[in-house]
Amino acid sequence: MSEQRPRIVVTGRIPEPGLDLLRTVGDVWAWDHDDPIPTSVRDEHLAHADAVVTLLTDRVDDAFLEAAPQVRVVANVAVGYNNIDVSACTSRGVIVTNTPGVLTDATADLAMTLMLMVTRRLGEGERLIRSGAPWKWGMFMMLGSGIQGRQLGIIGMGGIGQALARRAKAFGMTIAYHNRSSVGADLEGELGATRMSLDEILETSHVVSLNCPYTDDTHHLINAAALSKMRADAVLVNTARGPIIDEAALVDALRSGEIAAAALDVFEQEPIVHPGLHDLDNVVLVPHLGSATIETRTAMATLAASNVVAVLSGQPPVTPVG
């Protein structure tokens, strides 16, 4: 009798090359809809799963793991894994993996794009044209501010922060960063980057970009107190995770002119956007598009699948977390 192939559950739609790779080591069942998988359907399939590929919208907690008694690996198709209770996985002997590296450039590109959109008021310009309202060129029409010679303060100087620093340097910005550890003298020299305390970053930067993971330590890192330390002409950019910002405090700071503007790719109660943000002209809002290129999402799916293949073949995962 032939041995049963491992069963692999994929909780949402991922690019086909990822599924093809998974099929080389097991029988794959994938939820093939954009709507989230209903818990009852998920649990029915988790009951026999040896491996599961998850999306950042899945919550992998005790209830999830109890439904998946034989699962050996949870492969998240995201670099962030705040959706996964890693210690609950580890205590059950379940390996957790993520997809670092492959989305660095796409996410840094988006952070740079948001920075330019918000400083050059491109969202406002687009909304004006689309509204059908009459307009004509004017010397003082919709003036933004240049970024050359301005300081970009990067909070979280991992791969994405560094990739953003390279881009911003090419645009003529000076780079400051806040990180638990130094990136080293060589990289600081190459980027012309200065390491600062969080307060110094907030007090001196024209643009503050969030590029850190979301953890207990970074929950509401940017709260009312932090916002009050920022310059009145400062811009806040978030391509990391929504709950790093206290959105209610941000709305107050934007309304009162405590800071100049914000550009957000991620939201505290995603996909709900704090209602106060919709009405503000000095805000750019995009729907969590950091890694949203065909190439990047394909690479993420393939890397997640490689992690499953490795674990099911008795090898160490390619990109473990925890």
Binding site for ligand GLV (CB under 6 A): 56, 78-80, 103, 290-291
* Rounded least distance, CB 238 to ligand GLV, Å: 11
SS3 311: helix
Strands, sheet with 193-195, edge to edge from the N-terminal-most edge strand: 193-195, 174-178, 151-155, 207-210, 235-238, 261-264, 283-285
Return the bridge partners of 202, or none: none
Write the single-letter amino acid at 51.
A
Residue 154, Cα to own-chain centre: how many angstroms? 14
Q: Residues with Cβ < 8 Å from 76, sequence gap 6 or more?
A: 53, 54, 55, 56, 58, 60, 83, 84, 96, 97, 98, 99, 304
* Rounded least distance, CB 61 to ligand GLV, Å: 18
- Residue closer to ligand GLV by CB (options 57, 194) is 57
Catalytic residue (choose from 42, 274, 288, 297): 288
DSSP assignment, residue 62?
Answer: H
Residue 154 · residue 175 · CB < 8 Å? yes
- Residue closer to ligand GLV by CB (options 17, 287) is 287
- Residue closer to ligand GLV by CB (options 79, 175) is 79
Catalytic residue (choose from 241, 247, 268, 274): 241
- Residue closer to ligand GLV by CB (options 107, 204) is 107
288 among known catalytic residues: yes
Return the bridge partners of 84, or none: 60
Cα–Cα distance, 234 to 259 (Å, whole number): 5
Residue 180 · residue 207 · CB < 8 Å? no
- Residue closer to ligand GLV by CB (options 56, 196) is 56
Phi, then psi, of 96 in degrees rounded to 5: -115, 135
* Rounded least distance, CB 79 to ligand GLV, Å: 4
* Rounded least distance, CB 240 to ligand GLV, Å: 8
* Rounded least distance, CB 110 to ligand GLV, Å: 10
Instruction: Return the active site residues.
Output: 241, 270, 288
